[in-house]
Amino acid sequence: MKNRIKYALTLVLMLHFISVLAQNETTTTTIIAPEKIWSVQKANNWYKNYAWINGADFLPSTAINQLEMWQKETFDTATIDKELGWAQNIGMNTMRVYLHSIAWQQDAKGFKNRMETYLGIAERHKIKTIFVFFDDCWNKQGYAGKQPEPKPGIHNSGWVQDPGDPNSKQPEKYPELQKYVSDVLTHFKTDSRILLWDLYNEPGNSEKLNTSLPLLQKVFEWARAVNPQQPLSAGLWNWGFKELNAFQALNSDIITYHNYEEPQLHQRTIDLLRAFGKPLICTEYMARPRNSRFATILPLLKKENIGAINWGLVAGKSNTIYAWDVPLPNGEQPVEWFHDIFKNDGTAYRNDEVELIKKMNGLK
């Protein structure tokens, strides 16, 4: 009970902090190009154009990380096509997909061509895409070329941050990162196959804290300069990061967030985020041992008309069937999968979950 009260109070204080910042012109929090941030009316009108947004964070099962997905030598269109077909068959209409700046630096033209190929496959399966630029999660440094093999029983053992640590803290790296963001956004700025741009995943994670704020501010600045037709966002995820949260919320066209908690705590988050008046999309949820399950969270999100993007579609090299903090180095199956819906042969981990997803999407 104490933890629940603390959680609720933290959210209340965070939202109060944001509301004060929004009204206080002397605050040090920067709002990038406020005239370009979508109004509440524009955001809600945009949201009305779509059926209920639902899907998964997608990495093909043959890729251990973003680089193995996007590099020329390992860009696996056959697996992407097959696995997006499984998503389509249960009514999913949106995938959230991570990019990586190293893949662009290797071959900018080829990288964009592979993005085009991916979007073409997704469109054939009637799936929109949320692309993610930067990320503060997991291993500090990525590198071009052959990627590591999975470590048995270790969640996301090969996932890499972008642009990495200490790169994200070094302003001298920003000009090249600006070229990357601007090039990709300019190329795809009017592409209707892209639902929105998620500019920075979980800024401050991996003990970076507020050192991520300068790059977060810059990526919004670069994106606003391009002014794509798709909305921009950066998901709220850690309610203790007051300054990061304030910047993300005030600069996002659509409010996106992550929540891996049980239904009661997830509902409190929803109730508080409603204060912004903009559409909500939960871009990460579903961790079975934490009681964030399809059976409890998916109906809640549909009832509230909130986009629902769970972590993981197909079990594979990312090892996200294992919990973040419960490694099984011998590689044995966990008692219960943490994430993911399908085995890599296309059969469901749990048939009742697949039937529920289909029902929620009007296929049953």
Sign of dihedral through CA atoms 70, 75, 79, 85?
A: positive
What is the mean predicted confidence (pLDDT) over 107-124?
98
What is the mean predicted confidence (pLDDT) over 143-162?
98
- pLDDT score, position 82: 98
Cβ atoms within 10 Å of 350's Cβ, excluding its own: 15
Q: Which of 250, 314, 300, 325 is nearest to 92 (CA)?
A: 314
- pLDDT score, position 154: 98
Q: What is the pTM (predicted TM-score) of this model?
A: 0.94
For 233-278, the pLDDT digits (tens) are: 999 999 999 999 999 999 999 999 999 999 999 999 999 999 999 9
Amino acid at 92: M
Sign of dihedral through CA atoms 65, 68, 70, 71?
A: positive
Whether the pLDDT of residue 26 is over 90: the answer is no
Distance CA 65, CA 83 (A): 16
As given in the structure block, the two tokens for residue 313 are: 């579609």
pLDDT band at 19 (very low <50, low <70, confident <90, very high): low
pLDDT band at 12 (very low <50, low <70, confident <90, very high): low
- pLDDT score, position 285: 98
Whether the pLDDT of residue 299 is over 80: the answer is yes
Q: What is the mean pLDDT of the chain?
A: 94
Whether the pLDDT of residue 2 is over 50: the answer is no
SS3 string, the chain, reads CHHHHHHHHHHHHHHHHHHHHHHCCCCCCCCCCHHHCCCHHHHHHHHCCCCCCEEEECCCCCCCCHHHHHCHHHCCHHHHHHHHHHHHHCCCCEEEEECCHHHHHHCHHHHHHHHHHHHHHHHHCCCEEEEEEEECCCECCCCCCCCCCCCCCCCCCCCECECCCCHHHCHHHHHHHHHHHHHHHHHHCCCCCEEEEEEEECCCCCCCHHHHHHHHHHHHHHHHHHCCCCCEECCECCCCCHHHHHHHHHHCCCEEEECCCCHHHHHHHHHHHHHHCCCEEEEECCEHHHCECHHHHHHHHHHCCCEEEEECCECCCCCCCCCCCCCCCCCCCCCCCCCCCECCCCCECCHHHHHHHHHHCCCC
- pLDDT score, position 11: 58
Domains of the chain, start order: 2-27+53-360 (3.20.20.80)
Distance CA 334, CA 344 (A): 16
- pLDDT score, position 30: 81
What is the mean predicted confidence (pLDDT) over 133-157?
98
What is the mean predicted confidence (pLDDT) over 180-202?
98
Amino acid at 91: G
For 31-82, the pLDDT digits (tens) are: 998 999 999 999 999 999 999 999 999 999 999 999 999 999 999 999 999 9
As given in the structure block, the two tokens for residue 13 are: 């204080």
- pLDDT score, position 312: 98
Distance CA 9, CA 83 (A): 41
CA distances (Å), 72 to each of 103, 145, 301, in order?
A: 9, 10, 37
Whether the pLDDT of residue 17 is over 90: the answer is no
Q: Residue 152, preceding bond cis, omega within 30 degrees?
A: no
- pLDDT score, position 335: 96
Q: What is the CA radius of gyration of the chain?
A: 19
Whether the pLDDT of residue 306 is over 70: the answer is yes
pLDDT band at 1 (very low <50, low <70, confident <90, very high): very low
* Residue 147 φ/ψ, nearest 5 degrees: -95, 160
